[in-house]
């Protein structure tokens, strides 16, 4: 509502967090907060901004999914992986709808692997893969967004995982 009267042309839909632990041991309220942030928040903001962008037939929405969104799941992060798969599949579905109506509105998803942010601390995780800098990921994502790329995967290692996963 606060931004409804503004001519928003780019939405980077990036709120999200994770939690590490066995599915049955993570506090359900924490998981509900995660689902509300990662899924409901992304869904609602996409819908609200997309409606206005469609009226103007222009605009960009970049939903931050994760490499977790296209992977088969991970022990100890079940809810996070599921939430990011939702964001990825929602984005792909909307992309298909926009393409069918020849819309000038773009939607895509950013699927990075580990990024050097506060995520690791909040989620309580450490990754074996070297994290990319947030600045490098952001620059790459914006460049690919303006080129119309549907799924943006920064970093050689994650690209390899993405391609190999699709091949398998």
Whether 76 is catalytic is yes
DSSP, res 131: P
Structure confidence by residue, pLDDT tens digits, 56-91? 999 999 999 988 777 777 788 899 989 999 999 999
Helix or strand holding residue 152 (H, E): strand 151-152
All residues at 6 or more sequence positions from 92 whose CB lies less than 8 Å from its CB, including other chains: 109, 150, 151
47 catalytic? Reply is no
pLDDT, tens digit (0-9, with 9 covering 90-100), for 80-139: 989 999 999 999 999 999 999 999 999 999 988 765 565 555 555 555 567 678 898 899
Distance CA 112, CA 117 (A): 12
- H or E element at residue 146: helix 134-147
Closest CA to 88 of 46, 125, 26, 130: 46
Annotated catalytic residue within 60, 80, 84, 106: 84
Separation between Cα atoms, residue 148 and residue 109, nearest integer Å = 11
Please tell me which residue, 156 or 110, carries the higher pLDDT value: 110
- For the chain, percent of residues with pLDDT exceeding 70: 82
Average pLDDT over residues 24-28: 96
């Amino acid at each position: 509502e606060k931004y409804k009267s503004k001519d928003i042309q780019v939405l980077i839909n990036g709120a999200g967090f994770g939690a590490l632990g066995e599915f049955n041991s993570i506090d359900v309220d924490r998981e509900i907060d995660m689902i509300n942030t990662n899924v409901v928040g992304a869904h609602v903001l996409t819908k609200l901004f997309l409606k206005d962008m469609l009226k103007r037939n222009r605009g960009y929405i970049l939903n931050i999914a994760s490499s977790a969104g296209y992977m088969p799941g991970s022990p100890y992060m079940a809810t996070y992986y599921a939430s990011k798969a939702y964001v990825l599949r929602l984005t792909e579905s909307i992309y298909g709808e926009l393409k069918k109506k020849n819309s000038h509105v773009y939607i895509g998803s950013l699927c990075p692997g580990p990024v050097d942010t506060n995520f690791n601390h909040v989620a309580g995780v450490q990754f074996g893969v070297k994290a990319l800098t947030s600045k490098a990921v952001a620059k790459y994502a914006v460049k690919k967004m303006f080129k119309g790329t549907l799924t943006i995967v920064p970093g050689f290692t994650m690209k390899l995982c993405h391609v190999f996963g699709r091949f398998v």
